[in-house]
Structure 1
Amino acid sequence: MRNRVARGFIALSTVLALLVALPAPTATADTIHLGDGVCSMYANSSGFGAYCSAGQTGWGDSPPSWRAKLAGKPFIPCRDFPVPNGIELAAPPAGKEWVLRLTIVDYELDSNYGGDDAHLERAIVPVSREERRQCLPESYMDEFWTYFDEAYPDPVLLVKPTYTPRVNVPAYFALAPETSYVLKNYGPVDARDFANYRPGTRLTMRAMVTRIRVDPGDGTPAFDCLEGMLPLGSDGYDEAQDPFNQLSGCSHVYKRSSAKQPDGMYTVKLTIHWQVDYWRGPDALQDWTTVGEADVHAVQRLPVQEVQGIGG
C-alpha cells in the first residue's frame, strides 16, 4: 500500500488529519491490442489501471465473486502498517502501540470487485497485541488488497506559509506533488501477464490532478484551483515572497480562528479531479489519449490561529 507522507504534513495529537472515501462507480473502460496481447484499461474514482493478457480480456463474462475466491475462508477487512514518518503522536496508552490501520468498508462479497461502494478508510489508532490479531495479513487476502493498490496516491494537502494558518493572512493550498501524478508502464517492462508480446511495444498510463475544489470549512463558498497549471514538482508557493505577494491563486483568508470549532480545527473538504490518459509504443512521441476522469473526495482538519503580537 502507499503510505507516503509529504514534507511538512503533521498530524495533530491523536488522530490522522486526513480521511479519504473513494466510492467506485462503474469504470470507464477502453480495450486496445498491445503486440499479441489485449489490454482492458479502466479509470474510476477508486483508481486506474490495465488488465493485459494474451488475446483475452480477463475472466470474460463470468469473473468469480469475492465470496467464491474466499472458498469458505473468512474475509479480513483490515491491515495494520507502521505510522508514516512525519506524523507526531502522543505516547500511546499502556500496553498499546500506534499503527496506521487500513480497513475495507462497504464491500459486497457477492461482487467480483467488491461492489460500487467498496473503499478504504484510514486511521491511526492505538492497538494492543490482541487487537492486532484482528487484522492478521493472511496471504490468501492479498488479492483483495491488490484492487486497492491501484488507487490514486493518498492525497496530502500542503498549506503554506505554515501548516497552521493565521487569521487575516492568506493560506495557500496545494497537493503534495508526489500525490498528484502517477505513471504506470505495461508491456515488455512488466510482461508477466503476456504469453507473447511484440518487442518494443509498451502501454503507458498516467493519472494527474487537473483541478481541486477547496471548501475551507468556515462557511464561505468553495473555490477551484487548477493544479494542472503547476509544473511537476512544484507546490505553487514561492518561499522567497511573502504571503501577500504570490502568483498562486489557490488561497483563502480566514477571518476567525478555529478555536470554537470541534477539536479546535476547521474541516476542509477537498474534491480532487483526476484525468487518466494512455499511450502505446516504444516511446512517448505520440499524443496521449484520455481513458476517463474521476473525482476523489478527502477531508482535512485544519487549525487556524490568531496572529500573536510581541509579548503575548
Structure 2
Amino acid sequence: MHNRVVRTVLALTTVLTLLTLGPTSSAYADTIQTGNRVCSMYVNAVGFGAYCSSGKAYIPGPNAGPPPTWRKKLAGRPFVPCRDFEIPQGIRLPQAPAGKSWAMRITIADYDLDSYNGGPRAHLERAYVAVDDAERAQCPFPDYMKQFWWRFDDSYPAPVLQIMPTYTPRVNIPAYFSLTPDSSLAGKSDTKKYTAEEMTSGLFDQTHNLTMRGMVVNLKIDPGDNTGTFDCKVGVTPVDDPDGYDQSQDPYHQLNTCKHIYTKSSASQPDGMYTVKLTITWEVSYWVGKDAGGWNPIGRANVTAYQRLPVQEVQAIGG
C-alpha cells in the first residue's frame, strides 16, 4: 500500500540547503538493509540519525520456532506503512502552503507481510511533505505499529578548541590548534554508547545491527587577525596524546601543522580578544554488525562556531 497524497515533495536524493550561522552545508541521506531491519539515515549541519523499520532483532529461546512474520504480529490489524516525523533540525524549507505544515514522511515500501523482516525488497522511502490534518490522518501511528519502527539520533558536541603550548598565545610564537577528543567524535548505536577508544579501534560487538559515527575530518580556522583562513586535517587524537603537542619540544619544533603565529596582541580588539571562526567538517559513517568493510561514509556537513582568544605580548624580565 502506498499513500497517494497531492503534496509538495523533496525526494530522498535531493541535496538540501541548511540553515547555519555561516556558509550553508548539505544534507545527505542513505537507506540500508541491516540484519532484520531497513534503516534510513541522515546527516546535516545539526546532527545525524536513523529511522529503522521492523523493530528489534529477534532473539530465539532454546525451544523457539521460527521468528513470527509481520502478518502474525499484526494479528488481523491493518498494517500502516507510513509515519510522519518532525523535520530534522538544520534543514531549510520554503513556506508551507496555507493550512499545511511540513513533515518528514517515511514509508515502508515493497514489503512482504509473510516474512519476518518485511522481505528482501522492503526499503524505506523518505520525503519532506506539506500536509494538512486530513493528509496527516492517512499515516496514523497506533500502538501496535511501534514494533515495526525504531529510531535514534544524535547532535554534534559543542566544539572545544585547545591552544598549545598555552591557552593565551604569545606574539611571534606559534600557537597550535586542536579540538578535544570529546568534541571531535560523536557516535550512536542501537545497543549501547561506545567510548572514544572503542569508536576508534574498529573492534565491535558483533551482535549489534547498526552504529553511526560522526567524526571531524577538517577544521578551517580564521584566526581573526585579518591574515586569512587555513585548513587543518584532523581526526580523533590518541587517548595518550589528546592535543597532538609534544611537550618535550619547543613551539618551533612540532610535527603538528595546525598552527598560526600572531604578530600583534589582541589589546586593540573588542574585549581585548580576537574572534576566532571555526568551520568544522563532520563526516558521518555507519557500521553494520559483521560488516567486514568497516565504516561506510554517508556524507559530510559543516558546522560554524566562534571562540574568543586573548593574545599577549611576550613579557621579558629586566629593563
Per the alignment, residue 33 of structure 2 pairs with: 33
Per the alignment, residue 138 of structure 2 pairs with: none
After TM superposition, give the deviation of residue 151 of structure 1 in Å. Answer: 1.2
How many Å separate the matches in 2 of 1:248 and 1:25? 27
Per the alignment, residue 259 of structure 1 pairs with: 267
After TM superposition, give the deviation of residue 22 of structure 1 in Å. Answer: 8.3
After TM superposition, give the deviation of residue 172 of structure 1 in Å. Answer: 0.5
Query: Equivalent residues in 2 for 1:103-122 (5 A)?
Result: 110-112=101-103
Where 1:63 maps in the other structure, the secondary structure is strand
* Count of aligned residue pairs for this structure pair: 211
- Give structure 1 regions of 4+ aligned residues with deviation exceeding 6 angstroms: 22-26, 59-62, 106-109
Q: Which runs of 5+ in 1 are unaligned?
A: 1-19, 67-103, 117-146, 191-198
Query: Equivalent residues in 2 for 1:139-218 (5 A)?
Result: 150-186=154-190, 200-218=207-225
Per the alignment, residue 225 of structure 1 pairs with: 232
After TM superposition, give the deviation of residue 178 of structure 1 in Å. Answer: 1.3
Q: Is the 8 A contact 2:184 2:235 kept in 1?
A: no
After TM superposition, give the deviation of residue 64 of structure 1 in Å. Answer: 5.6
After TM superposition, give the deviation of residue 23 of structure 1 in Å. Answer: 8.7
Per the alignment, residue 271 of structure 1 pairs with: 279
Deviation per CA, 1:22-73, whole angstroms, max 9, x where unpaired? 8986631111122322211111111111112317xxx97662668xxxxxxx
Indicate how the Cα distance of structure 1 residues 154 and 23 shifts in structure 2: closer, same or farther if over 3 A, else same. Answer: farther
How many Å separate the matches in 1 of 2:231 and 2:32? 34
- Identity between Structure 1 and Structure 2 (%): 52
How many Å separate the matches in 2 of 1:22 and 1:216? 16
Q: Is the 8 A contact 2:211 2:286 kept in 1?
A: yes
Q: Which runs of 5+ in 2 are unaligned?
A: 1-19, 56-79, 105-127, 129-150, 194-205
Q: Is the 8 A contact 1:43 1:292 kept in 2?
A: yes
Per the alignment, residue 238 of structure 1 pairs with: 246
Asked whether 1:63 is paired with 2:70, we answer no
Where 1:150 maps in the other structure, the secondary structure is strand
Per the alignment, residue 125 of structure 1 pairs with: none
How many Å separate the matches in 2 of 1:311 and 1:60? 79
Which structure would you say has the larger RCO, counting Cα contacts within 8 Å and 6 or more residues apart? 1
Where 2:155 maps in the other structure, the secondary structure is coil
CA RMSD for the aligned pairs?
A: 3.5
Indicate how the Cα distance of structure 1 residues 62 and 183 shifts in structure 2: closer, same or farther if over 3 A, else same. Answer: closer
Q: Is the 8 A contact 2:51 2:152 kept in 1?
A: no
How many Å separate the matches in 1 of 2:26 and 2:243? 32
Per the alignment, residue 257 of structure 2 pairs with: 249
Report the TM-score when normalising by structure 2: 0.58
Query: Equivalent residues in 2 for 1:70-89 (5 A)?
Result: none
How many Å separate the matches in 2 of 1:309 and 1:148? 55
How many Å separate the matches in 2 of 1:25 and 1:168? 35
Which one has the largest radius of gyration?
A: 2
Indicate how the Cα distance of structure 1 residues 21 and 156 shifts in structure 2: closer, same or farther if over 3 A, else same. Answer: farther
After TM superposition, give the deviation of residue 228 of structure 1 in Å. Answer: 3.0
How many Å separate the matches in 2 of 1:281 and 1:300? 39
Indicate how the Cα distance of structure 1 residues 60 and 243 shifts in structure 2: closer, same or farther if over 3 A, else same. Answer: farther
Indicate how the Cα distance of structure 1 residues 148 and 254 shifts in structure 2: closer, same or farther if over 3 A, else same. Answer: farther
How many Å separate the matches in 2 of 1:185 and 1:280? 10
